Structure 1
Amino acid sequence: MIKIYSTLNYYGDDGWYYDKLSSANACGVYGIRINLCKFSDDKAYDVIQRVISIRNKVNKNIRIVIDIPYPNNKDRILDMNFSGIVKNNEIYHIIADQKLSRQQNLICVEQINSGLHKVGEILIYGDGEGGFEIIAVDGDRITVKALGTFEIGKTKSINLELIKCKVNAWKKTLTIEEPLDFLLSFVESADDVIELHKYIQNGGKVISKVETLKAMDNIEDIVKVSDGVLVARGDLGLCDSVGLYDNFNTIVNVCKKHNKTVLCATDILLSHTNLYIPSRSDIMDISHIISKGCKGIVLNNVNWDYEKTVCYINKIEQRYS
């Protein structure tokens, strides 16, 4: 039977955790994914221990999966000197200097490595809400032309570059004695996976998240050293939206070749949160995921009607697997 994971992206008090875990457990959810992207090691350690404690009261068999945000290839927007509405074909300047000048249309981000970028390159905003075409690169300033009209904000990012974090920044989290599994974000080589294995003290599995075209170039080596692979369609689709279908099938085929588990994530049955019957595109999507042999599905919305969604996935599985 396919394993269904729920995501905890928001964090509340113990009562909130208990309600979410109880609801997921009652409907047969296999595991809980905890996303660490907004936390320090100390805070993450505290959150995980709380979830473990409450999980043990609900059902000790619920698997806890820790999503390690390593590395990150997005630069968060820190500030801007305009309303936030980007207008189609207008010129904007992306800078790393937080002291905004009076020049029009400045967007300040965390950091810039101009040597990585070239004229004609497309930079994606957020989850694909909009984009920019690079028209000039000058030191620590990138000049771009807007591709479409869209709104930007300080809570989202622009796909600029790969910023390597150190796995040992999560040293405390990685030594939790409870058996945990780990999702490793933005894996690009077998060495990334091997490095994480060095720090894990509890025998946990490492599931590599494939999210970049560089990872696709090294997919065979990555799969060999991983316990499983998660097809992270969000960022992978931003890298190559037209090739997402082929990349998905390649990952699945390589995992089958090496007898490794494949999981799939990003916007799965998202329409089912507010529709009794999912959108037809969602139905086709989940049918394809299951028929290709994926063994796990990660739901990325905390507000699921678990009973309805799990029931629907099980029906699709009975038909196509």
Structure 2
Amino acid sequence: MMRRTKIIATVGPACSTSEQITALANAGADVLRINCSHQSTQQISELIDRIRSVAPSVAILVDIQGPKHRYIGSEQMLHSGALITFALSDIGLSTTTDAREQGIEVGHRVLLNDGRLEVVIEKVGRDSIEVRVVQGGALKPGKGVNMPDTEVTDDLLTAKDRSDIAVARAKAVEVVALSFVQKPQDIEQVRELVGSNVMVVAKIERPQALERISEICAVSDGVMAARGDLGVELPFEVVPAAQHKIARTALTQGVISICATEMLESMTTSTRPTRAEVADVTGAVRDGFDAVMLSGETAVGIDPPHAVEVMARICEAAEKEVVLPNLFADTNPMRAGVTASASALAKRMSADVLLSLTFTGHSALLLAACRPTAPIVAITPSEVVARQMRLVWGLYPVVAERASDLDEAIASALTAARKQQLIGPGNTVVICASRSNPRSNADTIWLHTER
């Protein structure tokens, strides 16, 4: 059985050598993530080169840190009901702009130490805020600061972020993920910096982004349910519903979706996941996410390749019990006309494989968005496109030259799929390609029985 749900593994101290990166790829990682929060710009550049040299077919995702706010004041004990004054600089906000101009208002909550402490703003000064402590406790420097009610107007990108994006563009990585997105304009800003050949994924970790999920999907190549900060800024009991909303909105609009954060967290120190973690990954598969992500489990875990293997086993088992609805075709009948028909034909014929001939990957993406019951073998002449498709649900990219004559192109595509053992004797194959122009959307469907 071909696994449909893709796996992203984070590269870190536990898996950053050439041998360890190769082991991750061999274990089943489709995409390798570089977390810019823990790497200098120079280290990011070197790591990209290392990944390319030992795992050239794997996609690279560069996760931009963004303006993570942290408490940098002195250590203190917050007592419930007490009034406290914070300078804006204490909570990582700009002091050159008036607090009100940064969107800060009376009644807004400030969450500290990953939501363990909570205060509410009662007075807003130019460069300080007075807050009432709702949930007290010890506050230490370096702890995270979240402001779920405030649409922060700080620059989305730090100087380091811009340097990291420049490296990602120069090294032609496949994906850049953007942290703390609040609105569609944030994605458009980064797309101008990264160029048109790199996919941009919006990390949904703020309530403001969740409220605008449809608009953000419309300008993004994908979205990530980043449940770490999202689980701080939202009440924890509504995070599963938010996760489901992110996945289904992405499915409806035909963009990539990723589920992230603490999916197999116990495997950072254990060789076996908890039953709750298995259920969590299974839930993400049932939600229809394109990919599930490992963070600390591989970056600093005791056995990164084993964590990838376990994730793959859970996904494969979950997929046996899941048939996803074709929300994309129902919502986009014109865009999905041919690919939805190919998907429906494959289901009626109990086809073994869908074969997509694609230059840019666009037709294959449309086919995957229909969530067909058969795996999709996507034939492309571009190694860059093939790597990008490693992130997409159900797609198995194969790099092969494309003949100008369509009959020859189909014959060579079938040959390429055979060489990779993706089709075999007796297989029913639904072929989807463009007869009018090799670079246009698919417009024709063929039915092939492999002899």
Q: TM-score, normalised by structure 1?
A: 0.81
Give the Cα–Cα distance (whole angstroms) in 2 for the partners of residues 38 and 306 of structure 1.
Answer: 17
Q: What's 2:55 paired with?
A: 59
2:308 to 299, 302, 310: 310
Give the Cα–Cα distance (whole angstroms) in 2 for the partners of residues 277 and 76 of structure 1.
Answer: 33
C-alpha contact (below 8 Å) 1:124/1:159 kept by paired residues: yes
Which structure has the larger Rg over C-alpha atoms? 2
1:274 to 269, 274, 277: 269
Task: Identify if the C-alpha distance between structure 1 residues 114 and 167 changes in structure 2 by more than 3 Å, giving closer, same or farther.
Answer: closer
Give the alignment of 1:161-310 within 5 angstroms.
Answer: 162=152, 163-166=154-157, 169-170=162-163, 172-201=166-195, 203-241=197-235, 242-301=237-296, 302-304=299-301, 305-310=303-308
Aligned-pair CA distance for 1:125: 1.2
C-alpha contact (below 8 Å) 1:179/1:202 kept by paired residues: no
Q: What's 1:103 paired with?
A: none
Greater shift in the superposed pair: 111-120 or 237-246:
111-120
Deviations 1:3-61 (A, max 9, x none): 22222466x9xx9533542342232222221122466xxx41x2232112221332212
Aligned-pair CA distance for 1:205: 0.9
Q: What's 2:26 paired with?
A: 26
Aligned-pair CA distance for 1:268: 1.1
Q: What's 2:43 paired with?
A: 47
Aligned-pair CA distance for 1:121: 2.7
Q: TM-score, normalised by structure 2?
A: 0.60
Q: What RMSD, in angstroms, separates the aligned Cα atoms of the two structures? A: 2.8
2:135 aligned with 1:141:
no
SS at structure 2 position matched to 1:79: coil
Aligned-pair CA distance for 1:109: 4.2
Give the Cα–Cα distance (whole angstroms) in 2 for the partners of residues 21 and 271 of structure 1.
Answer: 21
AA partner of residue 104 (structure 2): H
Aligned-pair CA distance for 1:209: 1.0
2:87 to 89, 92, 95: 95
Q: What's 1:111 paired with?
A: 94
Q: What's 1:17 paired with?
A: 17
Give the Cα–Cα distance (whole angstroms) in 1 for the partners of residues 180 and 317 of structure 2.
Answer: 33
Task: Identify if the C-alpha distance between structure 1 residues 146 and 23 changes in structure 2 by more than 3 Å, giving closer, same or farther.
Answer: farther
Give the Cα–Cα distance (whole angstroms) in 2 for the partners of residues 92 and 35 of structure 1.
Answer: 34
SS at structure 2 position matched to 1:131: strand
SS at structure 1 position matched to 2:181: coil
Higher relative contact order (CA 8 A, sep 6+): 1
Deviations 1:256-310 (A, max 9, x none): 1122221011111102223444233322211111111112112120123234322
C-alpha contact (below 8 Å) 1:176/1:202 kept by paired residues: no
Aligned-pair CA distance for 1:223: 1.0
SS at structure 1 position matched to 2:170: coil
Give the Cα–Cα distance (whole angstroms) in 2 for the partners of residues 176 and 95 of structure 1.
Answer: 39
* Structure 2: tracts of 5 or more residues without a match: 320-451
Task: Identify if the C-alpha distance between structure 1 residues 90 and 167 changes in structure 2 by more than 3 Å, giving closer, same or farther.
Answer: closer
SS at structure 1 position matched to 2:119: strand
Q: What's 2:65 paired with?
A: 69
AA partner of residue 164 (structure 1): D
Give the Cα–Cα distance (whole angstroms) in 2 for the partners of residues 132 and 49 of structure 1.
Answer: 40
Aligned-pair CA distance for 1:110: 4.4
Aligned-pair CA distance for 1:255: 1.1
C-alpha contact (below 8 Å) 2:264/2:273 kept by paired residues: yes
Aligned-residue sequence identity (percent) comes to 21
Task: Identify if the C-alpha distance between structure 1 residues 259 and 125 changes in structure 2 by more than 3 Å, giving closer, same or farther.
Answer: same
C-alpha contact (below 8 Å) 2:9/2:293 kept by paired residues: yes
Give the Cα–Cα distance (whole angstroms) in 2 for the partners of residues 54 and 61 of structure 1.
Answer: 13
Give the Cα–Cα distance (whole angstroms) in 2 for the partners of residues 248 and 309 of structure 1.
Answer: 22
2:108 aligned with 1:156:
no
Give the Cα–Cα distance (whole angstroms) in 1 for the partners of residues 91 and 210 of structure 2.
Answer: 31
Give the Cα–Cα distance (whole angstroms) in 1 for the partners of residues 245 and 77 of structure 2.
Answer: 38
C-alpha contact (below 8 Å) 1:94/1:109 kept by paired residues: no
